[in-house]
Structure 1
């Protein structure tokens, strides 16, 4: 098993080629760093559900030997009872359990960036981030990279083509619809505007749902480590803005805590403003995304809300 430190970000263009000396390996060149990986790894630990659903779409479910089994999204519930070992959570890996699987490859998301050094002592690590600035390009880049690493380039290309077609069809719906929208994240009783998140990037920038709130530049540059003050989405905010749709992603529900109350908004205000509240599937949106299967499901939810 190769134990060289391997950190691959698919947002940065990576030239991938077969090793000239060993037909069972591939080389990934990223900037000045060339890494050798096993071609078509047989044992993979997957710490990201979007990656898991892409491998599932490739028909590689049997190669997954470890995954975070706590809070598996419903659309991947077949993995709850799979033979794969529980390898912790998406933020806290179980290093001992991962070691026991003797993986050929570990695939993570940026949630585990701080654990890369320790994980890379067990097996090569691929990090799969997505960008809120060019969301679908990064999704395609991730799918392409997974296709190359697993020797499933044709399946990767086929799935990307299908997603592109589905997005084109969704844009016909959003172009014809006059409805504008906001995207908001619920956490512990508070609903906050998430206008520049990857969720908003998919809904507005990729699918073309009209923004009820424009992206405005920050008037002051935040200090290092300082987060901008959140915009709370409440009755007064709805009354002032009058968005056509509020897409809600419920973090609390996704992680097994108390979901957003059904009476969170005053129904009279919603009727006066003509606002519809759409609760997106919490575990699909908050715990997953950017994979083949998750992106398909997310597109369906958004377009259904506009019909």
Structure 2
């Protein structure tokens, strides 16, 4: 990730002063026009305007949002993370999806805005927010929500670190916390470099998702990947893990893999995400129990005690935000202990 000392060529966030004039009735000699100055932050991004079953089609979209908004609603948990880390708070969110470590960033009277995929439009309109944030899972809500309040789409697309920088810089400006955002990004940048140095000495690796007792191998993401694909490639693309298989997608045919596949590819380290733990799926085995079998015990990763269990909420639900990225860095640095 570029440090904050370098120019952000892909991001233009000019701040303009908007004068709002208001008047009041009374004696003409006593009257004056009250002038209040409200600073606005302009955010421009490429929004996917394609239909649900269509190939992505992007259109440049610009929205002006008020600086220091009193009431923020976000459907993007990663943005809730960053808002809170920069000293702000969120008035409304899909409360059931907010992990414990981010609860403190909710306002005391925070309201439930819906789910990660569906908005409670009536409640949101009643709350009269000043800013609404959507992202990958909730991007389809943009049109409806933008009729209620200024709405920005912070969907993750392409480089994870560039997206994190863009989002933190924008939200830092909105919250009047530009210096805090710059310092946090610098710290994250240093942490990722430390983690990459650790993985450089760790041999090959395989990202593995466990769900319902089945295994899925994770693959590096492409340059134009969005949401889930970026999430799946984090361990390679951000943290520099060398894939145990040259082309993971081709080797797995996009299907769940077997325990024998783990033995056949024999990565030096297994990086495991327990999806069921992240989603709260009932009646399923923990990932550690699923992998506790005779075949897996024969792998190099098991014999060298190099099966790393990643924080499931951070890597599957949130996968973004300042605090969450630090959790990811700490997870990866387990191999250096």
**How do residues 1-307 of structure 1 correspond to structure 2 at under 5 angstroms?**
13-22=10-19, 23-28=37-42, 30=44, 33-61=61-89, 64-78=90-104, 82-131=108-157, 133-175=158-200, 177-195=201-219, 196=221, 197-215=229-247, 229-257=253-281, 258-265=284-291, 267-276=293-302, 277-307=307-337
* Distance in 2 (alpha carbons) for counterparts of 1:217 and 1:298: 23
Instruction: Using the TM superposition, give the Cα deviation of residue 207 of structure 1 relative to its aligned residue in structure 2, in angstroms.
Output: 1.8
Whether the aligned pair in 2 keeps the contact of 1:183 and 1:199 (CA below 8 Å) is no
Q: Secondary structure at the match of 1:88?
A: coil
SS in 2 for 1:111: helix
CA contact (8 A) 1:289 1:295 kept: yes
Write out per-residue CA displacement over residues 37-65 of structure 1, whole angstroms, 9 at most, x where no aligned residue: 2112111002111111111111112xx11
Cα distance in 2 for residues equivalent to 1:287 and 1:216: 23
Higher-Rg member (1/2) = 2
Residues 248 and 81 (structure 1 numbering): CA distance in 2 closer, same or farther, change over 3 Å? farther
In structure 2, distance between residues paired with 1:27 and 1:71 = 28
Unaligned stretches of 5+ in structure 1? 1-10, 220-227
Cα offset, 1:189, TM superposition: 2.8
Q: Give the TM-score of the pair, scaled to structure 1.
A: 0.83
Counterpart in the other structure of 1:225: none
C-alpha separation in 2, matches of 1:17 and 1:291: 22
Residue-by-residue CA offset, 1:224-260 (whole Å, 9 max, x unaligned):
xxxx952323211011100122222222221111344
- 1:66 shift after superposition: 0.5
Structure number with the higher strand fraction is: 2
Counterpart Cα distance in 2 of 1:19 and 1:138: 23
Q: Is the 8 A contact 1:248 1:280 kept in 2?
A: yes
* TM-score, with structure 2 as normaliser: 0.76
Distance 1:229 1:173, change over 3 A: closer
CA distance in 2, matches of 1:139, 1:41: 21
Structure-2 separation of matches of 1:217 and 1:181: 15
Return 5+ residue gaps in structure 2 as ranges.
1-7, 20-36, 46-59, 222-228
Q: Greater relative contact order (Cα 8 A, min sep 6): structure 1 or 2? A: 1
Give the superposition deviation at 1:116.
0.8
Whole-angstrom distance in 1 between the partners of 2:296 and 2:275 = 23
How far the C-alpha of 1:198 sits from its partner, in A, is 2.3
| Number of positions where the alignment pairs a residue of Structure 1 with one of Structure 2 | 285
CA RMSD of aligned residues (A): 2.6
CA contact (8 A) 1:104 1:124 kept: yes
